[in-house]
A and B are shown apart, each in its own frame.
Chain A
């Protein structure tokens, strides 16, 4: 296959982008739609002190949960950690800082970061002391709104069903979830794709993420964990 945009590469070629102390954003929801090859690569490289941003902390051996369970993260910004008991234990032991954001607001914060907005206004949890803590409020037409700041990351890792040479992406069913948002919010975005196709093979009307947001594409070997329901 041609590689005229030099985006198609391998896991080994992108591993230098991951380093201790970095902010890493990941696509996926309960592990569904999280990039298995990239997560294993980061784990095997032994990267530490990560700040992870994503919907949830997966399950102990599924998705981003592998990095959390390994103690690779110092901080997580997520909406839910309940399916990964190790995350809860590390939090209670003071080894993992967790910033909770309501799920849809987290998605909007990521989206804002990806589309060049400094934040969004939200009425979710305005009267909730945990959600509203340390957040400025604004008044619009007599109603109070929280300022929810945008989120970005040094590197975003996502999982796609198909990528073309330019990095145009389509996703698979409910594995889309946060991936198109996370794709936009990385200074560098790496897409792991189940299939890489030639330019022109994806219907332009059906592309979900335009390749302009994608810097690197690596081929996927598929999920390397066992699902909770299996």
Chain B
């Protein structure tokens, strides 16, 4: 079940706050790809793509697409000044050696210890892990943007993932249409709630233990 356009942009806008000047950032497909639209103009960030780009720019205008310049999802992009192209070995060398400061991904489930399950639904959907395992395991910071519940209304933030893991204890921040959680060594901390929701609503839709930050922030975009 997809989220409405406005809500998708709300998640993207919140995630964009995590991007600081000088970072190398990898964005997953779907909602994460909306994040650059919400970056302040003065932020200098290098976007990395698994298919061999650092310095990826925005989508080209209609009619100006180059079939040989696409992001990892296969859609046309551009290259910013200072950008470069390289092969897949190098693209993942950058990831594995810890040069990605931040990756923003979608997910099917996240556990309260930061386990990520986003690549397989046994017997139903087996798309393959692509580059998600390397990104989740090796990026310095991992942010998950996702619906709070699945299409059957079941919570996606859980005590322990029931789906096969992409990587364990790797997620740092979870952003949903309801709330923002930090994954800390002492467990999940609810730090922000989107207006007009309240803590009880978040509790009723979350199947994990969490504590509420003393500085709980109400976000109204």
Chain A interfacial positions (CB closer than 8 Å to B): 29-33, 55-56, 59, 78-83, 88, 91-92, 98, 100, 102-105, 107-108, 111, 123-125, 127-131, 161, 171-181, 208, 223, 227-229
Interchain CB contact under 8 A, B133 and A91: no
Given contacts A81-B126, A124-B96, A127-B168, contact A32 B88 (CB under 8 A): no
Chain B interfacial positions (CB closer than 8 Å to A): 49-53, 65-76, 79, 85-89, 91-93, 95-96, 120, 125-131, 133-134, 137, 164-168
Query: Most chain-B CB neighbours within 10 Å: which of A129, A173, A227?
Result: A173
Closest 8 CB pairs of A and B: A104-B92, A82-B127, A30-B74, A80-B128, A175-B68, A107-B88, A103-B131, A80-B130
Interchain CB contact under 8 A, A56 and B89: no
Interchain CB contact under 8 A, A223 and B67: yes
Sample 23 A-B pairs with CB under 8 A, ordered by A number.
A30-B74, A32-B67, A78-B128, A82-B125, A102-B133, A103-B130, A103-B131, A104-B134, A105-B134, A125-B137, A125-B167, A130-B120, A130-B164, A173-B53, A173-B66, A174-B70, A174-B71, A175-B68, A178-B87, A179-B87, A227-B67, A228-B75, A229-B65
List A contacts of B129 (CB < 8 A).
79-80, 100, 102-103, 131
List B contacts of A103 (CB < 8 A).
50, 88, 92, 129-131, 134
List B contacts of A128 (CB < 8 A).
133, 164-167
List B contacts of A79 (CB < 8 A).
128-131
List A contacts of B133 (CB < 8 A).
102, 124-125, 128, 131
Q: How far is the CA of A131 from the CA of B119 in the complex (A)?
A: 12
Q: How far is the CA of A176 from the CA of B66 in the complex (A)?
A: 14
Q: How far is the CA of A100 from the CA of B126 in the complex (A)?
A: 10
Q: How far is the CA of A125 from the CA of B193 in the complex (A)?
A: 34
A219, chain B: closest CB distance, angstroms: 17
Q: How far is the CA of A117 from the CA of B198 in the complex (A)?
A: 57
List A contacts of B87 (CB < 8 A).
107, 176-181, 208
B196, chain A: closest CB distance, angstroms: 36
Interchain CB contact under 8 A, B68 and A102: no
- Report the number of A-B residue pairs with Cβ-Cβ less than 8 Å: 141
Interchain CB contact under 8 A, B53 and A174: yes
Q: Is the interface of B mostly helix, strand, loop or mixed?
A: loop
List A contacts of B79 (CB < 8 A).
173
Interchain CB contact under 8 A, A178 and B74: no
Q: How far is the CA of A56 from the CA of B167 in the complex (A)?
A: 21
Interchain CB contact under 8 A, B96 and A104: yes
List A contacts of B50 (CB < 8 A).
103-104
Interchain CB contact under 8 A, B74 and A31: yes
Interchain CB contact under 8 A, B134 and A176: no
Q: How far is the CA of A175 from the CA of B76 in the complex (A)?
A: 12
Interchain CB contact under 8 A, A173 and B69: yes
Q: Which of B51, B65, B134 contacts A174 (CB 8 A)?
A: B51
Given contacts A81-B127, A104-B95, A177-B87, contact A172 B74 (CB under 8 A): no
B107, chain A: closest CB distance, angstroms: 15
List B contacts of A180 (CB < 8 A).
87
Q: How far is the CA of A102 from the CA of B53 in the complex (A)?
A: 18
Q: How far is the CA of A143 from the CA of B128 in the complex (A)?
A: 26
Q: How far is the CA of A52 from the CA of B157 in the complex (A)?
A: 37
List B contacts of A56 (CB < 8 A).
128, 130
Interchain CB contact under 8 A, A102 and B67: no
> Residue on A with the closest CB to B53?
A174
A93, chain B: closest CB distance, angstroms: 13
Interchain CB contact under 8 A, A229 and B92: no
B77, chain A: closest CB distance, angstroms: 8
Q: How far is the CA of A130 from the CA of B118 in the complex (A)?
A: 14
Q: How far is the CA of A181 from the CA of B93 in the complex (A)?
A: 14
Q: How far is the CA of A108 from the CA of B74 in the complex (A)?
A: 22
